[in-house]
Amino acid sequence: MQVSQDQPISSDAPLQLLLFVDGRPKSKQQVQRIRSYLKELEADYDFELQIVDVGQQPYLAEHFKLVATPALIKVHPEPREILAGSNITGQLKAWWPRWQAAMDAYLQLESDLHEHDENGRVKELKSSIRSVAVSAELMRLSDEVFRLKQEKEKLQEQIQFKDRVIAMLAHDLRNPLTAASIAIDTLQSNYNIEKGEFERLTPKMTVHLFKQARSQTKIIDRMITDLLRVGHGKDREFFIQPQKVDIGKLCLEVLEELRDRYTAKSHKVNKDIPKDLPNVYADPERIRQVLINLLDNAIKYTPEGGDISVCGLHRTSQKIQFSISDTGPGIPEDNRDRIFENHYRLERDQGKEGYGIGLCLCQRIVLAHYGQIWVETAPHGGAWFHFTLPVYPN
């Protein structure tokens, strides 16, 4: 009897067995009984035994479609037979004479074949254990090919996404770039260097142009930042620098930045942010991105004259909840989970500006803060987004 704990071995033993074991303490006694009985048989019989740890060689267990261990398998000569259950030793005692008969029949067949060899050479006995190991390796390689195929498809999808993003970025950047350029050119053409003042421009118009240039530059920066952050992929670490943040104040600042956009559509913005809302432990720049993306969507999808609501809630001693709702078309219930996927877009959004990455970015930011984000139907229709953040510890 030959025994190996590691690699399969090749020998000329006509009877070849595989004993599958695992690391469970309960099975150790049974394995010991099986091996002791086989040790007794070794004195009178020639056979090859391979010990297989399913934890180290799972593909062999998969190859034989094992549902339990320990298990003893006769792999040669054919037909293959599997002994499993709580009394493998008892089954082995019953099957052993049959296996010996099968082995004798196989040896006789081999002898007949050798006698008819045209060249008079003795053929080498092929090791079934080796062939089984090869089959298991082929299964492993097949799984590896499948995994690589999936990675290839994922990379192709990412390349296609980047191509679409570049095309949309070239289109969408044109508007804020043009607006910022016009504002800067107007300021430059009306500035008198000698006098150090703007000519033909009222102070109010001068302030408006500076504000317009700054606002459009921030939009450009946000678009590029969103792309870079989402482009890092879900599997990489999303770095945050949490600190004490007054989220109510931060939200009011974001609303002021977006004032020109929602006033242009005559939106009514309702604010319900308690003065005693506690500070949160968060990265202010990341949370600004969340607020901008959610409010930007609310403005985009709310029709002219519609309502947008922003409210804060001290949900528990550890969490605050922030909610933003609109009176737009809302999110179909079937799509509420998918809208947070990278670059997923609803059918109705195909004609809208954007890349379908804003909500994915929001989710990644909120999850990085150990919070949650979800969407519901607003009380008066439309979308109602909620997210939670940890309260700053006092």
CA distances from 157 to 12, 168, 170, 362, 371 (A): 52, 16, 20, 22, 29
Residue 245 backbone dihedrals phi, psi, to 5 degrees: -130, 130
Helix (H, G, I), strand (E, B) or coil at 92: helix
Higher pLDDT: 322 or 57? It is 322
* 79-89 pLDDT, tens digit each: 888 998 888 99
> Got the DSSP string for 327-343?
SSS---GGGTTGGGSTT
**Which amino acid, residue 218?**
K
Please count the other Cβ atoms lying within 10 Å of the Cβ belonging to residue 20. Answer: 24
In the chain, domain spans? 15-139, 143-231, 243-390
Distance, in Å, from the CA atom of 229 to the CA atom of 362, rounded to the nearest integer, reads: 11
Half-sphere exposure for 362 (CA within 13 Å, toward CB)? 26
DSSP H helices in the chain? 25-42, 58-63, 88-115, 128-172, 174-189, 203-231, 247-257, 259-264, 284-301, 358-368
Distance, in Å, from the CA atom of 8 to the CA atom of 47, rounded to the nearest integer, reads: 14
Does pTM top 0.75 for this prediction?
no
- Residues near 383 by beta carbon (within 8 Å), at least 6 away in sequence: 297, 298, 301, 325, 326, 328, 330, 331, 375, 377
* 198-249 pLDDT, tens digit each: 878 888 888 888 888 888 887 788 667 656 655 555 444 567 889 999 999 9
pLDDT band at 160 (very low <50, low <70, confident <90, very high): confident
Domain 243-390: which CATH class?
alpha beta
Mean pLDDT of 354-361: 62
* 80-134 pLDDT, tens digit each: 889 988 889 999 998 998 888 888 877 777 676 655 555 544 444 455 666 666 6
Element housing 51 (H / E)? strand 47-53
What is the structure's pLDDT at 46?
85
The b-or-e profile of 293-330 (16+ CB within 10 A means b, else e) is bbbbbbbbbbeeebbbbbbbbeeeeebbbbbbbbbbeb
Distance, in Å, from the CA atom of 267 to the CA atom of 260, rounded to the nearest integer, reads: 10
Tokens of 241: 């620098």
Cβ distance 295 to 258 under 8 Å? yes
Residue 167: pLDDT above 70?
Answer: no
pLDDT band at 357 (very low <50, low <70, confident <90, very high): low
Q: What is the mean pLDDT of the chain?
A: 79
Residue 45: pLDDT above 60?
Answer: yes
Higher pLDDT: 295 or 124? It is 295
* 169-190 pLDDT, tens digit each: 665 677 678 888 888 988 888 8
Higher pLDDT: 157 or 353? It is 157
Is the Cα torsion angle 105, 106, 107, 110 positive or negative in sign? positive
Residue 317 backbone dihedrals phi, psi, to 5 degrees: -70, -20
Tokens of 366: 């909120």
Distance, in Å, from the CA atom of 282 to the CA atom of 369, rounded to the nearest integer, reads: 7
Cβ distance 230 to 201 under 8 Å? no
Out of 3.40.50.720, 3.40.50.1440, 1.10.10.10, 3.40.30.10, select the CATH number for domain 15-139. 3.40.30.10
Residue 375: pLDDT above 80?
Answer: yes
Cβ distance 325 to 381 under 8 Å? no
Element housing 281 (H / E)? strand 280-282
Tokens of 317: 């001693």
Return the closest-CA partner of residue 288 out of 236, 340, 241, 344. Answer: 241
CA distances from 250 to 284, 295, 337 (A): 8, 13, 27
What is the structure's pLDDT at 333?
78
With a pLDDT cut of 70, the percent of the chain lying above it is 77
Residue 265: pLDDT above 90?
Answer: yes
- Residues near 50 by beta carbon (within 8 Å), at least 6 away in sequence: 3, 4, 8, 9, 16, 17, 18, 19, 129
- Residues near 219 by beta carbon (within 8 Å), at least 6 away in sequence: 176
Q: Does the domain spanning 143-231 belong to CATH 1.10.287?
A: yes
